[in-house]
Structures are given as structure tokens and as C-alpha cells.
């Protein structure tokens, strides 16, 4: 027998307290205020009084599940919060110096300016290095000031339907024992009902993937591809790196068959964010993304950077790199998908913060019109996806539509294809390159090593960190800082 659950009626619920949801909720609140002021002044139209907007965040506080260190195009932020500098947005530094380096096992080769044309999408002067955890917490404060209700510590565990229509989400039960039985302090989850439910859970969100599967939203699209990013934040001696300095790396420790690369972002207070992206379509069952990252840190270039430094945070998360042809249908009756949950990460720029922010804002603009018309059907909400694909975000996604797919045959062929894509506006020989799911590339132990029982050195202790462990998760493994000192 189902537990009797409290029902809370909202107008709009954003699932996930990340950049996309916070931006969407804040923008929607501002738009409603402007709409009502316009109606009052003109006497025309319908006011939207007491619109309740909520955000579900599974972490203990907004920003708890964000990992520091990213490069952000500030254009959507300028639109969302025009006075973001006056409001002391937590920006680590404006990017004025960036480079791309090819690493061998013991050398660093800076790619010269002539070849940088191939990497022009990654030229990021005027962007900002940001701490995602600080930026998320800052946006959360602005959203609460605007009247948005944020529910930290509540994870959405089930989508609620009325027929095919999404009508809200159910939060997780509390007070369960380790075996799943009810403890003495058991409390059933709450059913949150809403006119529109917006899924901004990030990469491979637990609810979003069930919605996509149930409604066949990815029909005829490429299968989604993922990278796992293992990241650390270090405090290094003064003068070692400047806030806003950015270095991207190719090559070592990855072999030529593995998609991915490293990054180094200079932050304030003598901090530096370092990390390594590893494509999950690798063949070797002994490959361990975390172990590869440790190899990167032992490169002479990295050793010099981190010498006498102190590790203060580390973690990992996935990012969707399937690109334009892996974007699912983003709207259903009563529901919308935004940010990384909708495969809006721009691979050739290695960026997803600004696209997540803009997608939330465009969703908000569509929701406003839906609320005014009292129509939250998929047909009414579909203008969101049209606006998104017509925006600069959509144009960038289309230009890079075959980027990740171009590396399926390895780094060197991928670099040639990348150059051709740049020259031909995203085309190579075909307008659309197809891919296979990540897991289909993985070889068996027998295939990879020629024997059923390779040594631990041969297989790299792969059982400890095989890629399903990372799938769809953000994992903060260590943080010695309190909320007020969030990095």
C-alpha cells in the first residue's frame, strides 16, 4: 500500500539546483515582475499574481555538488544580471592569456599561432575563469531574493504523470535503514505538483533519462556520448599562476585512440584548478580515468606547477559530448529539459556553463507565455527548442555537430577532421557523422590483453574505476572547506 504523501502545489518546479535551473528560475521571476508592471501600466493583458517557483536541490545547500574551476562566456550572465560586477559575481579572473599544448611523456610543446586557427573555437579572451560552486551559490542567493523557493536536501526520485502529461515530481523518502526498510524516523517523500516541471539535473540526470526513454525523445538521434572530468583545486606558491590564465593540453597521458585532454585554470588566492577529460568510448578495459589524471600530475610540467602546493578539493563529473545530433526533443506536455540534461555542452569550445545558463533563460521566456495563455502543452512549450536552436548556442552546437564524432578514429585523424570542420562550417564529407554508444567500444579482457587473467599492472586495476562508476554522477570526493569557504 502506498504511503499517504503530502501534496504541495507549485506553478513551476526546476529539478536540480545547478546553473541552468537557477538561471531559469531567476529569469522567470524577473520576467513575471516586468510582465505584471507592464499590465498595470497599460491596462492590457493578464497579470500573473502569486506564481510559485521552486527549485529542488539534492545537496545540503546550493553549490554543494558543483566542482570549482570552469571557463565561462559571460554573454548570458550579462543578459541575466546586467550589473553582475556591481553585485560582486564570484569571478576568478578575466582570461587574457590562454594556450594549447601538446604533451608527450616528458615534454610540453606549445602549439604555434599558425596552427591555432584549428583551435580558434577555444580562443577565449574576454571569458572568465569561475568557481562553479561559488557562482552557483551566488545565483542561488539572487534567486531567493527574487522570491524563488529553494528546497535543499530534497532529491527528486520519481516523475509524476497524469496520462502522458508530466505533473510534477516526488521527493525521496527519509529515515530509511540501510536495507531500505523504514526506520523509526521514517518520513515519506512529498509530491510536488506543477504546471511546468523543468529538468535541469545535469549530465544523464536520473529523472531526465527516464523521461527521455518513456517518451522516446531521442528517437532518430545519435546515442549520447560522455566524457568524465577528474578535477582538483590546488593552492600553489604566490606568482606561480595568475587568475585568468588558461592552458588546455592534448596528448599525454592519453594514447592516440582516447578522446580527451587536460586543462589548467588560474584562480584567485593562488589557487589553480586542474583536470583531465577522458572520453568514455575508450577500448581498454584497464583504463582508469582517475589513474590517467594521476599520470598527468606526474608530468614534469605539472610537477613544476604544483611543487610545494596543497590539494584542497577534488572530485569528478561527466559531461555530454554527443553534440547537436544527440539533442533529444526537449519538451513534453508539462515538462522541459535544459542544460547538460539536454546535451547542450559545446564540445569544440569545451564549454557548457553559458549554454546551460542561456537554455534556462530561454525556457523561462517560453514558460511565461505558457502561463499567460494557460497552456502548458508540448505544442506551446515547443517554441523553447526552436528559440534555443536559433540562438547563438544553437548555432555553435550546429557548427560543432561532428566534432566529437570526428575523433572516433583517434587523435591525429580527429585533428585533421577538426581543421576541415572549421573550414567547412561543421561538415567533413558528410553533414552528419553517426556514432555508436560508448560501451560498445570497450573490449573484453581477453581481446585487449590476449589472456583472461592479466596482471594488475597490465590492466591498471581497472575493476576499481570502470566507467559505469562515473556514469551520470558528480562526486565531491573531498572538501575541507565549510559552506562559507566554499571553493
Please report, for the domain that includes residue 479, its CATH number: 3.30.9.90
Summarize pLDDT for 75-134 with one digit per residue, the tens. Answer: 999 999 999 999 999 999 999 888 889 999 999 998 875 455 455 555 688 899 999 999
Between these two residues, 222 and 424, which has the higher pLDDT value? 222
User: How far is the C-alpha of 359 from the C-alpha of 381, rounded, in Å?
Assistant: 13
Q: Is the pLDDT of residue 467 over 90?
A: no
In this predicted model, what pLDDT tens digit does every residue of 277-303 receive, in sequence order? 999 988 888 899 999 999 999 999 999
| Same-domain check for residues 285 and 149 | no
Query: Domain range holding 369?
Result: 7-67+137-222+324-399
Residue 82 placed within a domain: no
Query: Does 445 have pLDDT greater than 90?
Result: no
The answer to whether residues 230 and 360 belong to one domain is no
% the chain with pLDDT above 70: 84
- Within a domain: residue 387? yes
Q: What average pLDDT does this structure show over 325-329?
A: 95
In this model, does residue 246 exceed pLDDT 80? yes
Residue 79 lies in a domain: no
One domain, residues 315 and 410 = yes
Q: Domain ends where: 379, 399, 419?
A: 399
Boundary of a domain, candidates 380, 399, 418: 399
Task: Establish if 83 belongs to a structural domain.
Answer: no
Residue 395 lies in a domain: yes
Do 377 and 232 sit in the same domain of this protein?
A: no
Does residue 12 sit in the same domain as residue 144?
yes
> Residue 84 domain-assigned?
no
Clarify whether residues 142 and 183 are in a common domain.
yes
Higher pLDDT, 434 or 59: 59
Q: Which residue has the higher pLDDT, 152 or 186?
A: 152
Residue 458 lies in a domain: yes
- Mean pLDDT over residues 28-54, rounded? 94
Q: Which region among 154-158, 273-277, 460-464 has the lowest average model confidence (pLDDT)?
A: 460-464
pLDDT at 51 exceeding the cut of 80: yes
Are residues 200 and 97 both part of a single domain? no
Per residue in 153-195, pLDDT tens? Answer: 999 999 999 999 999 999 988 888 888 888 888 888 899 999 9
Q: Give mean pLDDT, residues 471-477.
A: 37
Highest mean pLDDT among 156-165, 407-416, 432-441 belongs to 156-165
Indicate if 339 and 482 belong to the same structural domain.
Answer: no
Tell me what the mean pLDDT of segment 333-353 comes to. Answer: 92
Rounded to the nearest integer, the mean pLDDT of the chain is 86
Most confident range, picked from 171-180, 315-324, 402-411: 315-324
Task: Please check the confidence at residue 474 and state whether its pLDDT lies above 70.
Answer: no
Average pLDDT on 433-441 reads 79
Give the model's confidence band at 482: pLDDT under 50 very low, under 70 low, under 90 confident, else very high: very low
**What's the pLDDT score for residue 178?**
85
> In this predicted model, which residue has the larger pLDDT, 458 or 185?
185
pLDDT at 320: 94
User: CATH number for the domain including 392?
Assistant: 3.50.50.60
pLDDT tops 60 at residue 483: no
Query: Are both 371 and 414 inside the same structural domain?
Result: no
Instruction: Say if residue 206 is in the same domain as residue 296.
Output: no
* Count of domains observed in the chain: 2
Q: Which of 369, 399, 429 represents a domain boundary (last residue)? A: 399
Tell whether 355 and 254 lie within a shared domain: no
Which pLDDT belongs to residue 413? 66
The number of beta carbons lying within 10 Å of the beta carbon of residue 372 is 15
486, pLDDT greater than 50: no
- For residue 312, pLDDT over 80 is answered with yes
- The pLDDT tens digits of the residues spanning 66-86 come to 877 799 999 999 999 999 999
| Choice between 281 and 56, residue whose per-residue pLDDT is larger | 56
278 and 241 in a single domain? The answer is yes
Sorting pLDDT into bands at 50, 70 and 90, what band is 305?
Answer: very high
Task: Report yes or no on 76 lying in a domain.
Answer: no
Amino acid at each position: 500500500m502506498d504511503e499517504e504523501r503530502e501534496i504541495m502545489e507549485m506553478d513551476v518546479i526546476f529539478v536540480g539546483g545547478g546553473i541552468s535551473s537557477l538561471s531559469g528560475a531567476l529569469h522567470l521571476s524577473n520576467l513575471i515582475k516586468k510582465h505584471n508592471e507592464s499590465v498595470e501600466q497599460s491596462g492590457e493583458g493578464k497579470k500573473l499574481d502569486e506564481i510559485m517557483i521552486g527549485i529542488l536541490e539534492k545537496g545540503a545547500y546550493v553549490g554543494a555538488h558543483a566542482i570549482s574551476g570552469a571557463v565561462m562566456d559571460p554573454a548570458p550572465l550579462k543578459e541575466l544580471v546586467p550589473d553582475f560586477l556591481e553585485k560582486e559575481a564570484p569571478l576568478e579572473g578575466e582570461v587574457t592569456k590562454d594556450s594549447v599544448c601538446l604533451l608527450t611523456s616528458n615534454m610540453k610543446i606549445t602549439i604555434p599561432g599558425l596552427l591555432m586557427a584549428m583551435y580558434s573555437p577555444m580562443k577565449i579572451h574576454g571569458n572568465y575563469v569561475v568557481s562553479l560552486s561559488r557562482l552557483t551559490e551566488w545565483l542561488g542567493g539572487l534567486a531567493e531574493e527574487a522570491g524563488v523557493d529553494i528546497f535543499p536536501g530534497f532529491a527528486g526520485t520519481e516523475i509524476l504523470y497524469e496520462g502522458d502529461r508530466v505533473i510534477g515530481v516526488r521527493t525521496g523518502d527519509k529515515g530509511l535503514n540501510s536495507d531500505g526498510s523504514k526506520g523509526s524516523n521514517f518520513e515519506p517523500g512529498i509530491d510536488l505538483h506543477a504546471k511546468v516541471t523543468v529538468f535541469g539535473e545535469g549530465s544523464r540526470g536520473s529523472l531526465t533519462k527516464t523521461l527521455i526513454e518513456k517518451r522516446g525523445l531521442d528517437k532518430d538521434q545519435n546515442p549520447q556520448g560522455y566524457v568524465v572530468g577528474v578535477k582538483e583545486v590546488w593552492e600553489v606558491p604566490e606568482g606561480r599562476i595568475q587568475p585568468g590564465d588558461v592552458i588546455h593540453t592534448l596528448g599525454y597521458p592519453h594514447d592516440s585512440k582516447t578522446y580527451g585532454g587536460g586543462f589548467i585554470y588560474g584562480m584567485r588566492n593562488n589557487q589553480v584548478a586542474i583536470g583531465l577529460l577522458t572520453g568514455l568510448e575508450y577500448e581498454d578495459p584497464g583504463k582508469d580515468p582517475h589513474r590517467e589524471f594521476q599520470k598527468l600530475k606526474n608530468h614534469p610540467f605539472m610537477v613544476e606547477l604544483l611543487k610545494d602546493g596543497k590539494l584542497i578539493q577534488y572530485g569528478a563529473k561527466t559531461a555530454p559530448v554527443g553534440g547537436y545530433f544527440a539533442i533529444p526533443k526537449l519538451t513534453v506536455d508539462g515538462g522541459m529539459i535544459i542544460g547538460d540534461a539536454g546535451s547542450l555542452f559545446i564540445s569544440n569550445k569545451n564549454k557548457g556553463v553559458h549554454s546551460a545558463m542561456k537554455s534556462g533563460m530561454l525556457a523561462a521566456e517560453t514558460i511565461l507565455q505558457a502561463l499567460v495563455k494557460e497552456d502548458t502543452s508540448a505544442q506551446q512549450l515547443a517554441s523553447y527548442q526552436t528559440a534555443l536552436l536559433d540562438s547563438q548556442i544553437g548555432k555553435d552546437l550546429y557548427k560543432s555537430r561532428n566534432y566529437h564524432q570526428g575523433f572516433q578514429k583517434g587523435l591525429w585523424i580527429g585533428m585533421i577532421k577538426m581543421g576541415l570542420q572549421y573550414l567547412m562550417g561543421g561538415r567533413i564529407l558528410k553533414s552528419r557523422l553517426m556514432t555508436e554508444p560508448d560501451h560498445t567500444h570497450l573490449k573484453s579482457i581477453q581481446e585487449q590483453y590476449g589472456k583472461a587473467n592479466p596482471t594488475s599492472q597490465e590492466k591498471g586495476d581497472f575493476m576499481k574505476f570502470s566507467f559505469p562508476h562515473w556514469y551520470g554522477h558528480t562526486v565531491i570526493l573531498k572538501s575541507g572547506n565549510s559552506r562559507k569557504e566554499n571553493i
